[in-house]
Structure 1
Amino acid sequence: MKHQYAVIGLGSFGSTIAQELTRLGHDVMGVDIDGERVECYADKLSQTLIADGTNDKVIAELEMTAFDAVVVAIGENLEASILTTLALKSAEVEQVWVKAISEPHHRILSRLGANRIIHPEHEMGIRVAQTIVHPEMLDYISLGNDWLVVEVKVDKRFAGKAASELPLGDDELRLALVKRGTQVWQSPFEDLLLQERDQLVLMGTLNDLLRFSKAQ
């Protein structure tokens, strides 16, 4: 299903989001106060506009409530980020995602009612560190309270074994999916034999996942 999104701030972070949403088949309006940035992405997004998102009247004129979500991707201008978020929430935009650059910024955005607050540098730093320590881990999502969903690759130690033979231990660690190219298997896995480079999607606590990683 095609959705409509708006991205305010077309710097490195915002333009990446806007272009990826476009690549995924959605309509994206890019907004920035810098005319050169707007012109740069005029042919890459559904619509681009030179506008000041901190202005309540501009937000109203752009009919931001019609979008499925609006991303505030303004970089180092803390005041502009806060005022834009305030303008969007005052206009009753349902989903407002905002880039935060510090913990105080995060607290302010939270009080303004931002639906999702993103710390791209912090989150990417954690992701890189986790991948360095556990190179078999392809990706992960934090569920909070020390629970994670991780994607790991099968190496030669588990290749040829049945999925049911994985050392999952107790029920706290669960195998949700096995992926092989475009094929996906869900539980129960019956006698599915694993192949090297298969991808396992596991859910569990950090300690259980670390234990499984060492077992590999």
Structure 2
Amino acid sequence: MAHFTVIGLGRFGVAASLELIHLGHTVTGVDKDSKMVEQYVEDLTQAVICDSTDENALRELDLANSDAVLVAIGEDMQSSLLCTLALKNLGVKEIWVKASTKAHHTIVSKLGVSRIIHPEEEMGIRVAQSLNYPMVNNYLAIGHGLYVVEIEIKPKLHDRTIAHALGDARTSITPLLVKRGQEVITGLDTGFELRTGDQLLLCGTRAELKYIAPRLV
């Protein structure tokens, strides 16, 4: 279990906070708006009213105990930048920042944060991928041109092997695991027989995954 601090309790910050708690972590939520803090005080591990642009106020939060700090401040770029700069001055090592514009991204990148997030852009890409590949439930870019995708097995592939499902791409795409109900099956080989409703996780390049898409519809 880890502890995180989320600064900015708008829709994005609250969604991230609640999901982290659902995953078993603890979360301190921070916002300068007392109404926002009061609204979520029962849902978060801790909720604090604080002006996150004030370095002295942030110092009182003992952020060194957080595994990471997420700056989820919305459209107020100035406040986001001042908060990020204050966190850097306080020696916080793991800082994630939500950026709303290219200018925001450019400036934050100069501050040397751990990761910059573009929620709307990233969600737009995920929606486009889902529209383009309706058989894909989820996908994750893991770098170096590789993606992990989750595919629900359709009736036409029931009792067929992974080798059959992948066709001649079976040597370039790696099957990672199958979720079958509550069971997670790993150590797959291409002779493994699939069942309708299985969730199959595959790893490969975008071109390879696009190539086999028609076989999986």
The TM-score, its normalising length taken from structure 2, stands at 0.94
Shift of 1:65: 1.4
Residue-by-residue CA offset, 1:157-189 (whole Å, 9 max, x unaligned): 211112243325253311111111221122333
Report what 2:66 is aligned to: 67
Secondary structure of 1:48's counterpart equals: strand
Secondary structure of 1:166's counterpart equals: helix
Q: Distance in 1 between matches of 2:144 and 2:188?
A: 27
Report what 2:187 is aligned to: 187
Secondary structure of 2:30's counterpart equals: strand
Moved more, 165-174 or 88-97: 165-174
Moved more, 99-108 or 7-16: 99-108
Secondary structure of 2:52's counterpart equals: coil
Secondary structure of 1:184's counterpart equals: strand
Report what 1:176 is aligned to: 176
Q: Distance in 1 between matches of 2:190 and 2:215?
A: 22
Shift of 1:129: 1.1
**Conserved 8 A contact 2:30-2:50:** yes
Residue-by-residue CA offset, 1:21-54 (whole Å, 9 max, x unaligned): 1222222111001111011001111111110111
Report what 1:121 is aligned to: 120
Q: CA RMSD in A?
A: 1.5
Q: Number of matched residues?
A: 215
Report what 2:154 is aligned to: 155
Q: Distance in 2 between matches of 1:45 and 1:112?
A: 29
Secondary structure of 2:192's counterpart equals: coil
Q: Which amino acid aligns with 1:178?
A: V
Q: Distance in 2 between matches of 1:165 and 1:195?
A: 13
Residue-by-residue CA offset, 1:45-84 (whole Å, 9 max, x unaligned): 1111110111111121111111011110000000011111
Report what 2:208 is aligned to: 208
**Conserved 8 A contact 2:74-2:98:** yes
Q: Which amino acid aligns with 2:206?
A: L
Report what 1:87 is aligned to: 86
Q: Which amino acid aligns with 1:198?
A: D
- Aligned counterparts, 1:10-25, within 5 A: 10-25=9-24
Gaps of 5+ in 1: none
Q: Distance in 2 between matches of 1:201 and 1:191?
A: 15
Shift of 1:191: 4.6
Q: Distance in 2 between matches of 1:182 and 1:93?
A: 39
- Aligned counterparts, 1:50-61, within 5 A: 50-61=49-60
Deviating above 6 A after TM superposition, structure 1's stretches of 4 or more consecutive aligned residues are: none
Identical amino acids, percent of aligned pairs: 40
Q: Which amino acid aligns with 1:188?
A: L
**Conserved 8 A contact 2:139-2:147:** yes
Q: Which amino acid aligns with 1:86?
A: L
Report what 1:96 is aligned to: 95
Q: Distance in 2 between matches of 1:72 and 1:172?
A: 39
Q: Which amino acid aligns with 2:111?
A: L
Q: Distance in 1 between matches of 2:10 and 2:108?
A: 20
**Quick check: 1:9 aligned with 2:1?**
no
Q: Distance in 2 between matches of 1:172 and 1:108?
A: 39
Q: Distance in 1 between matches of 2:88 and 2:171?
A: 42
